[in-house]
Structure 1
Amino acid sequence: MDSSVASRKCHGDSSAAPVRVLVTGGDGFIGQHLVELLLGRGYEVTATMLGEAPTDGTLSRAARAAAEWTRLDVRDADAVASVVTAARPRRIFHLAGFSSGAEASLRSRDALAVNGAGTLSLVEAAARASGDVQTVVVAGSADSYGRGGRGPVGERTPLRPLSVYGATKAAQDVLARGVGAALGVPVVVARLFPLLGPGQRPAFALPSFCRRALAIRRGTTEPRLAVGNLDVARDFTDVRDGVRALADIADLDGTPDMAYNVCSGVATKIRRLLEWVLERAEIEPEIVRDPALVRRGEPEAVVGDPKRLRAATGWRAKRDLRACAHATLDWVAGSGGA
């Protein structure tokens, strides 16, 4: 790593006590991958969940047992405060929230209560933790940018969301950094461009393609796939690279009230994801465009600029997206949910 990379906080050595961290939404798609990574790096992890500790998904049995699990609905400010007080974290990774644009559109008030007010409650709880919290990393979204602009979207691009989900994530972004600055809490927002990989819910494009491809391969449905606009291009990253970026951001010194794009800097068409899935499934179904699946007004291409994150941490997306698509199909096939 060159001299341009900023110094990082040491996350412990063999003679030091493990650093305590809190992961909200630890039972989710990104959360499970992050919990696995943090435990592997030697952190002491408390993770929150809405229901029971995850028994499916991607978290290994050993990691599930090593983490301390606690139920939390971030809409309950008192419960948020109690969890932060009990966990006594040095670092907080805030992942709990609505992650689906479709669900956010159907439940807009709930989405704002979770993504906005829930984040506010967390930052306030961190402020009351008497300086014990060194860093709060909030999982933001590239949807906050909306169309972005010409060329790669940088962190200075204005937040001009085009959807209910994007609006709630923009509100979360502004609230987290603004309230954090006002209360003296070091908050950093990681603006995640779309993450892919094993464990993602079928509401999203890649796992949906996988489920339907496997049904065709088994012969339980006709060899025909209805799709939306396959020429939409997004800046996709493997979730395992994404959580590595979150952990690296938390290691930084001197980053309060900062935002970092987590992205590869390369746009990939949805069509390529589908091709990789069909390649792995070894099928050639008829592809039919369904106008009902086309989202109105969505930008044709959104690609992020990762220079700020690279300069600060040296992070780069390392995992191949084709291999990621193959791994996702294999996971869906083996998860029992195919």
Structure 2
Amino acid sequence: MMKVFLTGAGGFIGRNLIKKLHEQNIEVLGCDNTGGRDDIKKISLLDYDELKKQIAEFQPDTVIHLAAIALAIYGNTSEIYNVNVVGTEILLKVLSEVCKNKVKLILISTAGVYGNQSEEFYHEDLPFNPANHYSYSKMVTEYMLRQHPDLEFTIVRPFNIIGVGQRQVFLIPKLVEHFAKKSRELHVGNLKPERDYVDINYCVYILSELAQRNDMKHSIYNICSGVGHSVEDIIEILAEYSGHNPEIVVDPAFVRKNEVWRMVGDPTRLLDFVNGKKCSDFRKTLIDMYEYSKNNMI
């Protein structure tokens, strides 16, 4: 039986990925800061000794490194670099020291490493141009892999992953909640920036394929749909479907000073890897999130 070690296992992507891997009869050992399940241990990425002990005992075939502080607006800059950069270096060191066979590492980076670009669709060969500390930290982790030639690695750059069960600290679930509650006012930042939104089920499908297959032609893959939507588009879809039209207030507190105005991925490389299987329709995912939020309001 194939064995996968998964960091950040208790997060949005992690929870869905564990379910997907279990469905495929893959043994999974996850870690995060909370634990609470037999297959998820409470281990900090910064705890070298415990991380080394667990990985040495488990001897994974593949490691999927999801754990990170992933909010672009997270206020504690030093903690971003401590967890995302120092934590990754500790993980890489442990893998080099204790894995008896050559382990495959899937590093989850971010499309944020591209920042603002002149290209309409962001392909994997574009130069780095990160616009916030989270994206800078992920750029550093990509460079760090070059110091570990003993590891076989694939870098994944997800665009905006969305779906049922996502925390409301992120834009889409926050908008969905306001429409489900029929809030009279909706406070937002810039309305014009376009993002490439990807359904969580497609994301974990891609990650499970990368974990199991060895026929990758490239070392870096976007996870994207190739279609962009602005905040205006999202509000329009939710208003049309729900029949609710809140007052839209552009709040300076939510306006980013260093905005990336369009971030839409080029899925060419990804689609070649999965034989043309595309992401599900954005509108369907958005409506699924709305219906779930409406039916599960406290």
**One-letter identity of the residue aligned with 2:172:** L
Q: Which runs of 5+ in 2 are unaligned?
A: none
Give the drift of 1:46.
1.0
Q: Name the structure 2 match of 1:284.
A: 245
Q: 2:146 aligns with which of 159, 178, 181?
A: 178
**Which residue is 1:153 aligned to?**
122
1:52-83, CA deviations, whole angstroms, 9 ceiling, x for partnerless residues?
43xxxxxxxxxx7xx61211111222222122
1:241-320 equivalences under 5 Å are: 241-253=202-214, 258-314=219-275, 316-320=277-281
**Structure 2: how far apart are the matches of 1:188 and 1:42?**
22
More deviation in 277-286 or 67-76? 277-286
Aligned to 2:6, the other structure's residue is in SS state strand
Cα offset, 1:312, TM superposition: 2.9
Q: Quote the Cα distance in structure 2 between the aligned partners of 1:46 and 1:32.
A: 12
TM-score for the superposition, normalised by structure 1: 0.82
Question: Given that residues 6 and 66 in structure 2 are in contact (C-alpha distance below 8 angstroms), is that contact kept between their aligned partners in structure 1?
Answer: yes
**Counterpart selection for 2:109 from 122, 126, 140:** 140
RMSD: 2.0
Matched, 1:187 2:156: no
The structural deviation recorded for 1:255 is: 5.1
CA distance 1:255–1:125, shift in 2 (3 Å): farther
Deviation at 1:334, TM superposition (A): 4.4
Match of 2:88 in 1: 119
Identity, % of aligned pairs?
26
Residue deviations 1:5-52 (CA, integer Å, cap 9, x gap): xxxxxxxxxxxxx21111111110111111111111110111112114
Cα deviation digits, residues 63-107 of structure 1 (max 9, x gap): x7xx6121111122222212211322111111111111111xx11
State the 1:257 CA deviation: 8.3
- Deviation larger for 326-335 or 153-162: 326-335
TM-score normalised by L of structure 2: 0.92
199 and 264 in structure 1: CA distance in 2 versus 1, 3 angstrom threshold: same
- Which residue of structure 1 lines up, in the alignment, with residue 134 of structure 2? 165
* 1:50 is aligned to 2:33: yes
Aligned counterpart in structure 2 of residue 27 of structure 1, from 10, 13, 18: 10
Q: Is the 8 A contact 2:59 2:99 kept in 1?
A: no
Paired with 1:127 and 1:314, the residues of 2 have a C-alpha distance of 33
Structure 2 partner of 1:6: none
Task: Kindly state the Cα deviation for residue 280 of structure 1 after the two structures are TM-superposed.
Answer: 4.1
Equivalent-residue separation in structure 1 for 2:276 and 2:167 (angstroms): 26
Q: Which runs of 4+ in 1 moved over 4 A?
A: 254-257
Counterpart of 2:292? 331
- 1:85–1:279 Cα change, 3 Å: farther
Distance 2:143 2:213 in 1: 21
Gaps of 5+ in 1: 1-17, 54-63
Alpha-carbon deviation of 1:256?
9.7
Please tell me whether the aligned partners of residues 187 and 256 of structure 1 are also in contact (alpha carbons under 8 angstroms).
no
